[in-house]
Structure 1
Amino acid sequence: MPRPPLLVFTDLDGTLLDHEDYSHEAAAPALAHLRAAGVPVVLASSKTAAEIAPLRAELGLADCPAIVENGAGVLNPGAGAPVDSGRYCELRAVLKRLPASLRAAFQGFGDWDLAMIARRTGLPRAEAELAAQRRFSEPGLWRGSPAQKEAFLAALAAQGIGAREGGRFLTLSFGGTKASRMAEIAARYGTPFTVALGDAPNDIEMLEGADLGFVIANPHRPALPPLAGEAEGRIVRIDAPGPKGWNAAVERVIKDRGI
């Protein structure tokens, strides 16, 4: 495929999508500019392929790949959501084998009915059903002590499962990160200049791995710590939250790079 002038990787919740109502309306001007300039926008999220496929089409990005379930998988251009369960059943089986004292402190999507998933995520029931169609990872809430959490994560690591802190949930998976998938996808496009946007701890590696990263303000969680490259200006913090901040960051890139 032809090498584009730029490649954008973006988190969704709290970044391209508003934290409260999941709207992307405020980012419409910058998205339109990117589409007109032929700049691919790769969605990179903890969301499932079932969630991302219709959203990607709605945004006019169906011809771009997407990173799903925090990098545990990739949705290829033009593809619909796969129907198989991937490694999700295997992951849930590992959770079931943990000591009861550790297992009881973590509740994930597989422990909740659709009404609870909708309540925990703030999604309408129909969208919560898509969020429940998991293939690679298990988001959930930790209710135990820090010491218990350390033991919980160590027990999972012994079974090849890692954990990522996102904007809302602690997400478990067998591996793959937004950053590793970003490098794979950039290589498909001839490794152009890469821009990454995010707001949460699970975005840090992606932000630090891009040529230019933007931390979008999220008033609903503590600010990210200073990041590698931030002192040199390779990572920039945007004061406006969500899609408003996203639009400001991308418009700045478009202007600075003469796109």
Structure 2
Amino acid sequence: MQDAPPLLVFTDLDGTLIDHDTYEWAAARPALDALSRVSAGVVLASSKTAPEVSALRAQLQLGAWPAIIENGAGVVPAHTHATPDPDAYQQIRAALREIPDALRQHFTGFGDLRPAEIEKLTGLSAKAAAQARERAFSEPGLWGGDDAALVEFKAALRAFGISTREGGRFLTLSHGKNKSDQMARIINHYKPRHTIALGDAPNDVEMLETADFGIVIPNPKGRRLPELKGEAQGHIIRAQQAGPVGWNTAILGLLERLDL
């Protein structure tokens, strides 16, 4: 087993490490290089699927580290491009067919869309949109109903053991595991001296609060996250800029603070 790293960084992707609209991450390159120089690990933690995250992990040269996929519902191990069994996803789609039409009509999941429609909705390339549809554990989608109907929709899904999570863009259905659940397992395996987590949305909150230091990246298109546990004590920091620019500045600042 490799030596314990001095630092493990757990990072959301869309709106955090990569730009919400352009999907570019080049502005974070200085901080990624600095992390590499101190032998820190970077664990991608996203709502994206195994094929999507594996492709990004290769681009970022982070294949030596595991990646958390589908909002924490699964993990792609280090040094592999394994495709998970889609049985859990099929169970979610089956549950959607069982709930009342009056509620179901308000939710449009990726499984209801053709790849070209996902491409248009997300701004992804055709290849990436097809990968986004290769789901194994969770179903993201858009909610078009009011808040009262959403409460009923969530209750109907809970009867099938399915929970819901609000991200920066989509409402995601899964069997309950979240990013911090997988984060705890990875920390237990690698035993780093320090941990940092970065995110911009409600589905990142547990991860942000679990790390030694959580960095909230502002999301101009989403609701501001409320004050988080540990923020008053300085364990939660709010970046000043969105996306990879804010990510870069915040990581470089924390590396200096940690004397790394």
Aligned residue number for residue 63 of structure 1: 64
RMSD between aligned residues: 1.0
Q: TM-score, normalised by structure 1?
A: 0.98
**Contact kept? 1:217, 1:238, Cα under 8 Å:** yes
Aligned residue number for residue 24 of structure 1: 25
Q: Please give the alpha-carbon distance, in whole angstroms, between the structure 2 residues aligned to 1:191 and 1:90.
A: 36
Amino acid at match of 2:67: A
**Contact kept? 1:48, 1:134, Cα under 8 Å:** yes
Aligned residue number for residue 122 of structure 1: 123
Q: What is the 5 A alignment of 1:1-259?
A: 1-82=2-83, 84-259=85-260
**Contact kept? 1:186, 1:192, Cα under 8 Å:** no
* CA deviations over 1:134-171 (Å, ceiling 9, x no partner): 00000001111111110100111111100110011000
Q: TM-score, normalised by structure 2?
A: 0.97
Q: Please give the alpha-carbon distance, in whole angstroms, between the structure 2 residues aligned to 1:258 and 1:60.
A: 24
Q: Percent identity?
A: 52
Q: How far has the Cα of 1:81 moved from its partner?
A: 3.9
Q: Please give the alpha-carbon distance, in whole angstroms, between the structure 1 residues aligned to 2:134 and 2:23.
A: 19
**Contact kept? 2:119, 2:129, Cα under 8 Å:** yes
List runs of 5+ in structure 1 lacking aligned partners.
none
Assess, with a 3 A threshold, how the Cα gap between structure 1 residues 89 and 163 changes in structure 2: closer, same or farther: same
Deviates further, 185-194 or 232-241: 185-194
**Contact kept? 2:5, 2:192, Cα under 8 Å:** no
Amino acid at match of 1:164: R
Query: 3-state SS of the aligned residue for 1:101?
Result: helix
Q: Please give the alpha-carbon distance, in whole angstroms, between the structure 2 residues aligned to 1:234 and 1:182.
A: 17
Deviates further, 79-88 or 226-235: 79-88
Q: Please give the alpha-carbon distance, in whole angstroms, between the structure 1 residues aligned to 2:10 and 2:159.
A: 31
Q: How far has the Cα of 1:124 moved from its partner?
A: 1.1
Q: How far has the Cα of 1:184 moved from its partner?
A: 0.6
Query: 3-state SS of the aligned residue for 2:136?
Result: coil
Q: Which runs of 4+ in 1 moved over 4 A?
A: none
Amino acid at match of 1:28: R
* CA deviations over 1:205-248 (Å, ceiling 9, x no partner): 10011110000111111211111111111101011110000001
Query: 3-state SS of the aligned residue for 2:30?
Result: helix
